[in-house]
Structure 1
């Protein structure tokens, strides 16, 4: 954030997309300096956690449309309750993560995730740099990622009942930008949501947006209360997998999804409920 080019690129991005929230990682400057950028980026509020040494630093910015109540924070996360100022909708929870980069300390990140999960009382959206992949296919390198690392990540998200939200565009979110065999790419930035979030926003979309001044993609979450009607012909159709029934959480997932969807009346209500069921199972099945 001390780099003028990065600030200019972010200003262009926020002007074009007009986001309600912006979570930033690796600011590399003091928290007060980060917060002073709110106006330049088109926001009215900001909260930042300062760097330790020469690296780190995270910040959350928000627009005039919402009120933000910071619940907890440290150098690896900011947890907040987001409410619409016009009173529409229910308050929701957003947590921005910047997890441990050192492999030997990554268990501390999973402990933090589990602790935050115990505090849940509303819909929950989590986004950020988790510094870990869930599967070997999300890591491109001469050297394979160790399975025990990824398994620990998967176990933590399963225990916290978080669903990996599907995305569009680039399959990797980080590239070390080195040539030849030294090149490493990985999907270490991602978004998770709980079942309540999917009930409220069945049309949620996550996009990976390339940035010139960063080796990470930006994650853009578009929250919609309506299921997308016009899907691209190339989009993957929903396919029920019988193997899902062998998973220990299958019955609970189906029950929770269905009980939370029965709100509409008549055929249109049934179709809406089935769409939400389909989205939920597709999201849950994609990480199994």
Structure 2
């Protein structure tokens, strides 16, 4: 299932509708959530027919701002639970009568109303015991790194939003494709970029969709980028996610330090998404670090060459130290190929033989 969310900043322009149609063609979402539509329900109905959605629910704008709309395909069994100027609550029924709750959310854009957004989030958390995902434009930042610009985001606002998320027992879906979802004054001294769009899930929802992904992509018509939430049910794909720890990683001090730092910086709400996130990080770390053994060996041999003709005590000691580093590097390479080949009768004379490279490559 694919969910697409976009703060479209108004549906009154034909250019916006054209860009929306292009996004729908490219990403083929099952559910589409639009915030700040700036239109009434009758125009949303017209839009639904233009973009090929039979089912929809909308919240009219208030004054010159606001307006929400959610659309869904016939292959998705949805029922509207509740709605307001800030949210649309949906119950989604999966196969075998398993249901979960999706809240399409739009936070108050005014800074002085952030506390109202946080209070509303905690209220929403009490409305149902179903597996819950909340998705949309929160108009809020969770970390200082969520903003790049001249003025840092106030710490009290970061702390308030973080506390609300923890009170709701939610864990965040990591964002890929870019660090920010909104920008203003691009290319000027006042250029600011922020991550306002997010997706969170409670523990029971994460158990249903542990392999979910959230991706941001570009929309040329807007300063607000769309985000795509892809849900993959574990009953179909649980055998596809296979993480393997390489023994040689454990011999590197930087591995322990990097993983410990990454683990510490992850929210400690739910264990499952945290484990998935850190295993993905370790896999990427391993790909970056260990796919260039030959290059490292060559460089280390060049270092040794610099000291082999030295006759002073310091030079001799450096020569032996660098030789030991080369030996350690070769040992790590041996362990790497040994584990990947799944062969454990390696003799010293057979180190790095073509047999092991061929075995690993064929796997």
TM-score range, shorter chain: 0.7 to 0.9
Q: Does residue 1:191 correspond to 2:188, yes or no?
A: no
Provide the secondary structure at the position in 2 that maps to 1:182. Answer: coil
1:229-277: CA deviation from partner (whole Å, max 9, x where unpaired): 489xxxxx997649979x9x96x845xx5xxxxxxxxxxxxxxxxxx77
CA spacing shift, 1:22–1:282, aligned 2, 3 Å: farther
Residue 202 (1) aligns with residue 210 (2): yes
In structure 2, which of residues 145, 168, 172 is the aligned counterpart of residue 160 of structure 1?
A: 168
Once the two structures are superposed, residues 51-72 of structure 1 have per-residue CA deviations (whole angstroms, 9 ceiling, x without a partner) of: 1111111110000112221111
Residue 149 of structure 2: aligned partner: 141
SS of structure 2 residue aligned to 1:127: strand
Partner of 1:15 in structure 2? 25
Residues 132 and 277 of structure 1: CA distance in aligned 2, closer, same or farther (over 3 Å): closer
1:149/1:4 CA distance change after superposition, 3 Å: same
Assess, with a 3 A threshold, how the Cα gap between structure 1 residues 206 and 11 changes in structure 2: closer, same or farther.
Answer: same
Contact 2:262/2:278, CA 8 A, preserved across alignment:
no
- Distance, in Å, in 2 between the alignment partners of 1:89 and 1:203 is 21
Aligned to 2:156, the other structure's residue is in SS state helix
Matches within 5 A, 1:177-188: 177-188=185-196
Alignment partners' CA distance in 2, 1:207 and 1:180: 27
List runs of 5+ in structure 2 lacking aligned partners: 1-10, 244-254, 281-363
More helix by share: 2
User: Does the Cα contact within 8 Å between 2:77 and 2:93 map onto a contact in 1?
Assistant: yes
**The residue matched to 1:27 in structure 2 has which SS?**
coil
Please report the TM-score for the alignment, with normalisation by the length of structure 2.
Answer: 0.64
CA distance in 1, matches of 2:100, 2:225: 25
> CA 1:282 to 1:128, structure 2 compared with 1: closer, same or farther past 3 Å?
farther
TM-score w.r.t. structure 1 length? 0.80
Q: Secondary structure at the match of 1:278?
A: helix
Q: Tell me how far apart the structure 1 counterparts of residues 160 and 279 of structure 2 sit (CA, whole Å).
A: 22
* 1:35–1:83 CA distance, 2 compared to 1 (3 A): farther
Structure 1 gaps of 5+ residues are 232-236, 258-275, 284-288
Counterparts in 2 of 1:119 and 1:37: CA distance versus 1, 3 Å: same
Match of 2:249 in 1: none
Deviation at 1:88, TM superposition (A): 4.4
**Greater Rg by CA:** 2
Deviations 1:154-185 (A, max 9, x none): 00000101111102111000011443221110
- The partner residue of 1:92 within 100, 107, 116 is 100
Tell me the equivalent position of 1:29.
39
For residues 182 and 75 of structure 1, the distance between their equivalents in structure 2, rounded to whole angstroms, comes to 31
Flag the 1:281–1:30 CA change in 2: closer, same or farther, 3 A.
Answer: same
Given that residues 173 and 200 in structure 2 are in contact (C-alpha distance below 8 angstroms), is that contact kept between their aligned partners in structure 1?
yes
Over residues 62-113 of structure 1, what are the superposed CA-to-partner deviations in whole Å (9 max), with x where a residue is unaligned?
00112221111111111110124xx446111111111111111111111111
SS at 2:112 equivalent: helix
Matched residues in 2 for 1:30 and 1:208: separation? 27
What is the root-mean-square deviation of aligned Cα atoms in Å? 2.8
Deviations 1:170-216 (A, max 9, x none): 10000114432211100011111111122111210110011111111
For the residues of structure 1 that align with 2:191 and 2:242, how far apart are their CA atoms?
Answer: 37
Tell me if the contact between 1:133 and 1:188 (Cα under 8 Å) persists in the aligned partners.
yes
Distance 2:97 2:25 in 1: 25
1:50 maps to 2:60 = yes
Q: How does 1:74-113 map to 2 (within 5 A)?
A: 74-84=84-94, 87-88=95-96, 90-113=98-121
